[in-house]
Amino acid sequence: IASCLVGSEMCIRDRILSLHDKKNIGNVKYIEGLIPKSWKKYAVHLIEPIIQSVKDRGDLLEVRPILNNLVTKVYIKWINLEAVITTYNGFDVPFEIYYFGEQQVLKKNMNDTFESFKKSICMFIDSINSNTNPISRNETLEIVEIIESGNYES
């Protein structure tokens, strides 16, 4: 969970929407994410970019897990956005986020999980040294609530 405290755009740049992306796809209404292998290890790497990309999502209304031995699927509903994040437990699927906008769909990949993790650790250390919080307390609690809802693995 420490990486969710980092919140640096630099760490998650490959997964968040740029201003150019937002202009091209329009207002985002739905997001679908795929996580390889483990919800516990990788969920934050999709949840954090969603939180950072869609600031006008509104309050978190519902987080509902669908859990079994092969798949962890979490449905998330905010006032202005819905998302489904799926972990294929034990299967090596691509790390992807699909942003469904009013005009088109945009896919973002995370190709180098080690480099992303390394950047997150560096930014976490920097935030401690500089006594700053790149993500607000409310956003951190929101991320933790979502992570905890899918925190089951057989």
Would you state the pLDDT for residue 83? 97
Asked whether residue 10 carries a pLDDT value surpassing 50, the answer given is: no
- 111 alpha-carbon distance from chain centroid: 15
Would you state the pLDDT for residue 64? 93
Would you state the pLDDT for residue 133? 72
Dump pLDDT digits (tens) for 75-117.
Answer: 999 999 999 999 888 788 888 999 999 999 999 887 666 666 6
Asked whether residue 8 carries a pLDDT value surpassing 70, the answer given is: no
pTM for the whole structure: 0.80
Asked whether residue 59 carries a pLDDT value surpassing 70, the answer given is: yes
Would you state the pLDDT for residue 154? 43
Dump pLDDT digits (tens) for 17-54.
Answer: 888 888 999 999 999 999 887 888 888 888 888 888 89
Radius of gyration of the chain (CA): 15
Dump pLDDT digits (tens) for 109-143.
Answer: 876 666 666 666 776 777 788 887 777 888 889 99
For 46-76, letters b (16+ CB in 10 Å) and e give bbbbbbbbbeebeebeebebebeeeebbbeb
Would you state the pLDDT for residue 113? 61
